[in-house]
Chains A and B, each alone.
Chain A
Amino acid sequence: VSGAGRRVVITGMGAICALGDRPEAIHQALCDGRRGFSAPTIFPDSVAPGVQVAEVRDFAPQTYLDGGNIRPLDRTGKLAAVGVQLALSDSGWTADLRRERPLGLILGTMFCSVRTIGEFDRRAQSAGIEYASPMDFSNTVLNAAAGQVAIWHRLRGVNTTISAGAVSGVHALGYAAQLIRTGRADALVAGGVEELCYESFWGFHQAGFLAAAGSGVPVCPGNSVPFDAGRTGTLLGEAAAFLALEAESTAKARGARIIGCVEGFGTAYDPDALIGGRGGPNAMALAIRRALANAGVAASAIGVVSASASGLRAQDAREAAGIAAAIGRATPVTAIKSMVGETLGASGGLQSIAALESMRSGLVPGIAGLARVDPEVLLTVTSEARPLGATRALVTSMAPEGNCCALALGLE
């Protein structure tokens, strides 16, 4: 199984999130332990007083996207178009190249734009169906962002939206790598996007996912710290994060700079997650083992793990157990969500970019705010950034509904 097919290399990275819009700057902010949280401006902070979010503040898509009319794109579409733009320019996939060869897009998202969908329907219900806008309707489909980005950047290849909740981004990267590996595509932009909006925020708030939600106590980012004994929930963020992936032969033929490679992907589902059962096999461990087998590397070869832990009590513990079972307890583990927030569909791309930058710079971010490690979490975690000599990283991603994914990345 392992190692079969073509080698998949990474030739570009593009990201925009609360901590910035350049991979090096985002990585530096993570290593500095900066937290991108503040009161929401996208919706009134009176919706849930004191609950902070990691917004892309003062988002100005027109500064990234030259020419054209961006009005047909909603916030999700704009974030995605910017993330893809940054990955394309980093990889050297110019407009001319894209005219010659169809480039594809694999986009992970949990909600696409639930804000557009919500507003479209509310307008029809309150003002009358004749007030529902046909242009908005074309953005209510869950593949709207992928379609809009394809139009904007002229991406004529395979165009697939992947939804698997918070693991959508890693799933998209893994699917893209498999398509290149087996020769179905030569080059793909892959990653994910999630906007912050009232509808998803309120949903998570009412479901009790948010840190200290419902307690009436003003929420500080402190109690949303991954693996911390005092964690009470997650805080939401928004982002777009994409990698340019291509077959090594294609990348070398065009003289592209090679940053690293996708060595393997694995995924598993926990069929007991929805019914609250935790007695079955740990699906995170299974996903990791599958990724390692797919990559043809031993667990001991992994130098660092970027976990998806977001401050959820049971979920972080479950992920930690899966990592410990499949990788061991000694490998350094980090998590970025106490700094950029839970960016759902974008989180896998952000974790991947942070992991690649960590290997590139030799410095891995700590888990900002980590004060006392949960005794249930038997992993090597710290609050401070630390040196890293490894050239192999594992990105893990897990969702409360039971989806688990792992992606093995290598530095060139």
Chain B
Amino acid sequence: MDSRARVVVTGIGVVTSVGIGVDEFWRAILAGHTGISPVESFDTSRYAVHLGGEVKGFHPEAYVRRLSLASMARASQLAIAAARLALDDASLSANAMDPAMVGVSFGTTSGEPAMIERFNDMELAGTRDRVGPEFIAQYPCHVIAAHVASELGLSGPNLVIPTACAAGNYALAHALDSIRNDEADAMLAGGSDAFSRITYTGFARLGAIAPVECQPFDKNRRGMVPGEGAAVLLLERLDRAVARGARIYAELAGYGLTCDANHMTAPQGDGATRAMTIAMADAGIRPGEVSYISAHGTGTAVNDRIETAAVKQAFGAAASRVPISSIKSMLGHTMGAASAIEAAACALAVHDDAIPPTMHYETPDPECDLDYVPNESRHVPIDVAMNNAYAFGGNNASVLFRKCRA
């Protein structure tokens, strides 16, 4: 066990509404493309809002090979696709490693919501006898990680950490420790969420869905837009990555996890500040050394105001100099996948010295007065990127990526 062993990102797989695969995704968000479109997976006529960030043109049969497509629901299919893309991106086949020492750690908000929705449809139709074995086999959220490992034949640590909208960061934190504790040589860590009428209904009832565009940090922001997607980061110990001549995106340098312990849905800010502070201490990084913050930045009035204040509290005078952006302005809020997709963006930012923009930013808000990288990507040296994510339940998670110098 080496509690300070260095762990690096050597592969990235993403399935998003703006692109599938790392190249398509990264080009799209640097160019400011938006993946928001009319919702097709269910009828929104009863809602006051109709847009979402669905992944269209996704062909799961291109990725799900060992298992049967019918044996799993959409979040698992998105997850398997992201995992295969990450391995391909790392030029690594799963069996080039000891499969007993490769684990899978996934975040999600809703697991496989389509399965309970189907269960409910039968219940409401008075046909509960039609519920078959598929509900137990495909609904519980942990099957996402099980499907990925089963598809790829991996027997390392396997679990789902469903800490809602910060779940991807929790999965990365768990994976980092699993490698450092010698439980695994490599981890496929990420997040996956499928578009869901339950999630859409909930946020609609909270009045939190923006009618047209998601405009994080803008004075006239009107909310978030529910989305879906998946991302996987392949994490390996630095020495192993160097030994096989792997391309290294970034080092996963540290993390901080805290809980507000105050309110299920309203963020407090102090917990977010503590998470950032703990993460920086963990990685041995001072606020002035952080070159980019990937914001949680949902586009709701409360989140963006509280997050801005929390960054100021954690960074002090350095806050005004750190560029912050929210790619949710383009993808919407992909729930448990969001911080995994944003972690992918952070690793790419560190590797390519580029920052994706906050799109649809028009009117400055006096309460949100930091540098949000409005509407255009920026090419500047990035040494350290911080990925922030917050969740229902008062969960806060900050993860740090650093340029890898061997």
Interface of A toward B, CB cutoff 8 Å: 1, 4-5, 72, 102, 104-105, 110-112, 114, 117-118, 120-122, 124-126, 128-130, 132-134, 137-144, 146-148, 150-151, 153-165, 168, 171, 175, 178-179, 182-184, 199-200, 202-204, 206-209, 267-275, 281, 283, 286, 290, 401-403
List of B residues within 8 angstroms of A117 by Cβ: 113, 116, 198
Given A150-B394, A159-B163, 16 extra CB contacts under 8 A: A105-B259, A114-B116, A134-B206, A141-B393, A147-B259, A150-B259, A151-B394, A155-B261, A160-B170, A161-B161, A175-B174, A269-B149, A271-B152, A274-B146, A286-B155, A402-B149
In the bound assembly, the distance between CA atoms of A126 and B257 in angstroms comes to: 39
Checking A121, A129, A148, A179 against B120 with a beta-carbon cut-off of 8 angstroms, the contacting residue is A121
Most buried by A among B121, B177, B183, B393: B393
Instruction: List the count of A-B residue pairs having beta carbons below 8 Å apart.
Output: 256
Q: How far is the CA of A275 from the CA of B153 in the complex (A)?
A: 11
* Chain A contacts for B258, CB-based, 8 A: 102, 156-159
Q: Closest residue of chain B to A205, judged by CB?
A: B131
Q: Is the CB of B163 within 8 A of A203?
A: no
B155 touches A281 (CB 8 A): yes
Q: How far is the CB of B403 from chain A (nearest CB, A)?
A: 24
B141 close to A124 (CB less than 8 A) = no
Q: Is A203 within 8 A of B155, CB to CB? A: no
Q: Which 8 A-B pairs have the closest CB atoms?
A: A147-B393, A142-B162, A137-B202, A159-B259, A269-B158, A207-B133, A138-B264, A4-B1
The answer to whether A151 touches B137 (Cβ under 8 A) is: no
Q: How far is the CB of A259 from chain B (nearest CB, A)?
A: 24
> Quick one: given A138-B392, A165-B142, are A267 and B201 in contact (CB under 8 Å)?
no
Do residues A143 and B392 form an inter-chain contact, with CB atoms below 8 A? yes
CA distance A120 to B200 in the complex (A): 12
Cβ-neighbour of B164 out of A143, A157, A179, A267 (below 8 A) = A143
Residues of chain A within 8 A (CB-CB) of B352 are none
Contacts of A183 in B (CB 8 A): 3
**Cβ B180 vs Cβ A143 within 8 A:** no
Whether A163 lies near B141 (C-beta < 8 A) is yes
Q: Which residues of B contact A274 (CB under 8 A)?
A: 67, 71, 146-147, 150
Main secondary structure of the interface of B (DSSP, over half): mixed
Q: Give complex CA distance A160, B257 in Å.
A: 9
CB contacts under 8 Å to A, within B352-406, are 391-395
Q: Does B204 contact A (CB under 8 A)?
A: yes
- Identify the closest chain B residue to A182 (Cβ): B3
Find chain B residues with CB under 8 A from A132 CB. 201-202, 205
Chain B: CB-nearest residue to A120 = B198
A to B CB contacts below 8 Å, 10 in the list: A118-B116, A122-B123, A126-B124, A141-B392, A143-B393, A146-B163, A157-B258, A267-B183, A281-B100, A403-B146
**Least Cβ–Cβ distance between B135 and chain A, in angstroms:** 4
Min CB gap B188→A, angstroms: 12
Contact A122 B120 (CB under 8 A): yes
- Chain A residues closer than 8 Å to B262, beta-carbon distance: 151
Q: How far is the CA of A356 from the CA of B136 in the complex (A)?
A: 32
Of B110, B116, B158, B271, the contact of A199 (CB 8 Å cutoff)? B116
Distance (whole angstroms) from the CB of B17 to the closest CB of chain A = 22
Within the assembled complex, what's the spacing in Å between the Cα atoms of A80 and B152?
A: 35
Tell me whether A209 and B136 are in contact (CB under 8 A). yes
Residues in A with CB closer than 8 Å to B392 are 138, 141, 143-144, 147
- Name the B residues within 8 Å of A122 (CB-CB): 120, 123-124
B133 lies within 8 A of A206 (CB):
yes
Q: Give the shortest distance, in Å, between B270 (CB) and chain A (any CB).
A: 9
- Closest CB in chain B relative to A143 CB, distance in Å: 5
The answer for the CA separation of A171 and B366 in the assembled complex, in Å, is: 46
Q: How many Å from the CB of B56 to the closest CB on chain A?
A: 24
Verify B202–A164 contact, CB threshold 8 A.
Answer: no
CA distance A329 to B139 in the complex (A): 36
By a CB distance below 8 angstroms, the chain A residues around B149 are 269, 271, 402
Nearest A residue (CB) for B177: A178
Which A residue sits closest to B159, measured CB to CB? Answer: A164
With an 8 A cutoff between CB atoms, is B59 at the interface? no
Residue of A whose beta carbon sits closest to that of B180: A182
User: Contacts A110-B140, A125-B121, A147-B392; is A158 near B257 (CB within 8 Å)?
Assistant: yes
Tell me which residues across on chain B come within 8 A of A208, comparing CB atoms: 133
Shortest A297–chain B CB gap in Å is: 16
Contacts of A182 in B (CB 8 A): 1, 3, 177, 180-181
A31 to chain B, nearest CB (A): 32
In the complex, which residue of chain A has the Cβ closest to the Cβ of B154?
A: A271
B60 surroundings in chain A (CB, below 8 A)? none
**Which residues of chain A are within 8 angstroms of B261 by Cβ–Cβ distance?**
150-151, 153-156, 159
Give, as a whole number of angstroms, the nearest-CB distance from B161 to chain A.
6
Residues of A within 8 A of B124 (CB): 122, 125-126
Judge whether B132 is part of the interface by a CB distance below 8 angstroms: yes
Q: A142-B164, A269-B157 are in contact. Are A150 and B393 (CB under 8 A)?
A: yes
Q: Which of B117, B137, B265, B395 has the most CB of A within 10 A?
A: B395
Mark contacts of B235-258 with chain A using CB atoms, 8 A cut-off: 1 yes-contact digit, 0 otherwise.
000000000000000000000011
